Amino acid sequence: METIEITKAAGTTTIDKVLYTGKTHTSGGRDGASRSSDGNLDIKLSSPGSNGAGTNPEQLFAAGWSACFIGAIGIAAAKNKIALPEGTAVDAEVDLGVTKSEYFLQARLNVSLPGLDETTARILIEAAHQTCPYSKATRGNIDVTINVSI
């Protein structure tokens, strides 16, 4: 088996210290299966909108991004000495779409920060969007809308 190494794109960030590496093995594409190296993730995959028994990449991306974004909100809250309200949540929506026969993603993060005032919520969300690695990865690449309910 021959290995082909693809180098990283110019202008990308080099990580100084790797904190964690998620490893999965996927076969069969959108109608296959994926399993993590530690066995904690073992799922069937199915195409979006199909009657398949599995999840799809867009749902997995939405789950990962929303979890990460809540963590970033927590970091922003701690730095600003703000207590996160009970019920803090993110409902992520990731759309798979097509434009001129090419596939693209777009996303909405619907953040719930019950009981916070608008200024405080805005401070936390803007800081979280700058901190969250998923937000950094998508910035300038896909259309992202963040909605906040307080």
* CA 31, chain centre distance (Å): 21
Give the global pTM. 0.91
Q: Do 49 and 61 belong to one domain? A: no
Question: Would you state the pLDDT for residue 71?
Answer: 98
Confidence of residue 142 (pLDDT cuts 50, 70, 90): very high
Q: Which structural domain range is residue 30 located in?
A: 1-55
The number of domains in the chain is 2
Q: Do 80 and 105 belong to one domain? A: yes
28: left (phi over 0), alpha (psi -120 to 50) or beta: left
pLDDT digits (tens, 9 = 90+) for 33-74: 999 999 999 999 999 989 888 999 999 999 999 999 999 999
Q: Do 118 and 79 belong to one domain? A: yes
Question: Would you state the pLDDT for residue 121?
Answer: 97
Q: Which of 55, 70, 87 is the last residue of a domain?
A: 55
Q: Do 88 and 67 belong to one domain? A: yes
Q: Which of 36, 55, 74 is the last residue of a domain?
A: 55
Q: Do 82 and 129 belong to one domain? A: yes
What's the mean pLDDT when you consider all of the chain?
94
Q: Do 63 and 137 belong to one domain? A: yes
Q: Helix 118-131 vs helix 57-79: angle between axes, to the nearest 10 degrees?
A: 120
CATH number at residue 1: 2.20.25.10
CATH number at residue 133: 3.30.300.20
Q: Do 14 and 67 belong to one domain? A: no
| DSSP per-residue codes, the chain | ----PPPPPTTPPPPSS------EEEESGGGSEEEETTSS-EEEB--TTS--SSB-HHHHHHHHHHHHHHHHHHHHHHHTT-PPPTT-EEEEEEEEEEETTEEEEEEEEEEE-TT--HHHHHHHHHHHHHH-HHHHHHTTTSEEEEEEE-
Q: Do 77 and 45 belong to one domain? A: no
Q: Do 38 and 86 belong to one domain? A: no
pLDDT digits (tens, 9 = 90+) for 21-44: 999 999 999 999 999 999 999 999
Q: What are phi and psi of 58, to 5 degrees?
A: -65, -40
> Is residue 1 scored above 90 in pLDDT?
no
Q: Do 50 and 93 belong to one domain? A: no
Q: Tokens 């803007």 identify what position?
A: 126
Q: Do 51 and 61 belong to one domain? A: no
Q: Do 37 and 102 belong to one domain? A: no
